[in-house]
Amino acid sequence: MHELPQTLVNGLTLGALYGLIAIGYTMVYGIVQLINFAHGEIFMIGGFGALTIYIWLPSGTALSLALPLMLIGGIVASVAIATAAERFAYRPLRGGPRLAPLITAIGLSIALQQAVWAFYPDAKKPRSFPQFEGSSFEILDNLHIQRGDAFLLIAAPLCMLALGLFVSKSRAGRAMQATAQDPDTAKLMGINTDRIIVMAFAIGGAFAAVAALSHGLKYGQINFEMGFIAGLKAFTAAVLGGIGNIYGAMLGGVVLGIVEALAIKYIQDIPGMDQLGGGAWKDVWAFTLLIVVLLVRPQGLLGERVADRA
């Protein structure tokens, strides 16, 4: 069991990544009850936004200097796409049948993916992403943290803290909670719900951009297809944690990441289970967990049982 700490750290970093993306699903769902399936692509575009800034910078710029600019570039790209999607793809359908924006979301997801494939230079193959020099930090004897992961492990809690403070303390955050609870009453109280909805999309986009930058630093490459699986996993994390709950999204992500890491490492070692372990089965275990959680707690780990609106 001496490799347990390393396995947990691997799961934690992967889970933090899922969690950051899951925030976007959860906030949008919490406010407009829409599952924004184009969110995986918003994440992917954040990565390309950050990469574009890096390419523009003079070559040889230290990554530590470039990083804040790349973060801004990624956030601008993701937020622009997310808010534009809200304005042009979802707002016209608001109030229509629930299925309509969902189908639009799927269409948008494919359109964004193909647009990057077609128009971003050399995006037809994976693009390499700048990485930190040097290898990993050795914390304990058998515990390494990659430099790319370190960024993620710092950024994710900071983002969560900022979001938590924003939602509970600021006026806009409280307006957001009010809109999530009851949009019609919120409107009567003088809250501009349209602005709140745009804000939810923008915050989700910004988090996705942080995730995309972390993804690039962690794996050293980004590609136009990366939004698909990441988006699906993040959506799973959001449902697992209780969709609509921002802390739930992060918790769901971390649980999912750790379950995947443990499944790869240990299920093979259980007697009689050697056929059901390893990388091939990790998604099976992750989704089994999701099903079990949904059966026992349909609202997800941190979700609240909401009364249906009439």
Partner 1 sequence: MRHRSLLIMTTAITAGALTLSACGSRDDKNDSGGKDSKTTVVIGVDAPLTGSLSALGQGIKNSVDLAAKVANKNNEVDGVTFKVKSFDDQAVPSSGKANATSMVDDEDILGAVGPLNSGVAQSMQGVFDRGDLAQVSPANTNPALSQGDDWASGKKSRPFKTYFRTATTDIIQGRFAAQYYYKDAKKRKVFVIDDKQAYGNGLATIFAEEFKRLGGKVVGRDHLTVKETDFSGIANKVKSSGADSVYFGGQYPEGGLLSDQVKQAGAQVPIMGGDGIYDPAFIKASGTNNDGDLATSVGYPVEQLDSAKTFVKNYADQHYKDPYAAYGGYSYDAGWAIIQAVKAVVEDNNGKLPDNARAKITEALGKVSFDGVTGKVSFDQYGDTTNKQLTVYKVTKGAWKSVKSETFKD
Which residues contact partner 1 by CB under 8 A?
3, 6-7, 10, 14, 35, 37, 98-99, 102-103, 106, 110, 114, 117, 124-131, 135-136, 144, 146, 148, 215, 219-221, 223, 225-226, 228-230, 232, 239, 243, 260-261, 264-265, 278-280, 282-283, 294, 298-299, 306, 308
Closest C-alpha to 38, from 234, 195, 174:
234
Q: List CB contacts of 62: < 8 A, sequence separation 6 or more.
A: none
Kindly state the DSSP code that residue 134 receives in the 8-state scheme.
S
Six-digit token string for 19: 């969690």
Cβ neighbours for 53, distance < 8 A, ≥ 6 positions apart: 66, 69, 70, 72, 73, 74
Q: Are residues 246 and 27 in contact, defined by beta-carbon separation less than 8 angstroms?
A: yes
Nearest CB to partner 1, comparing residues 179 and 223: 223
Please say which residue, 55 or 172, places its beta carbon nearer to partner 1. 55
Type of residue found at 120? Y
Task: Write down the residue that tokens 């914390």 correspond to.
Answer: 139
For the bound state, the minimum distance from the C-beta of residue 14 to partner 1, rounded and expressed in Å, comes to 5
- Report the candidate in 16, 12, 15, 19 with the shortest Cα–Cα distance to residue 248: 19
Closest CA to 216 of 90, 7, 45, 4: 45
257 three-state secondary structure: helix
* Burial of 13 per CB tally in 10 Å (0-12, 13-18, 19+): buried
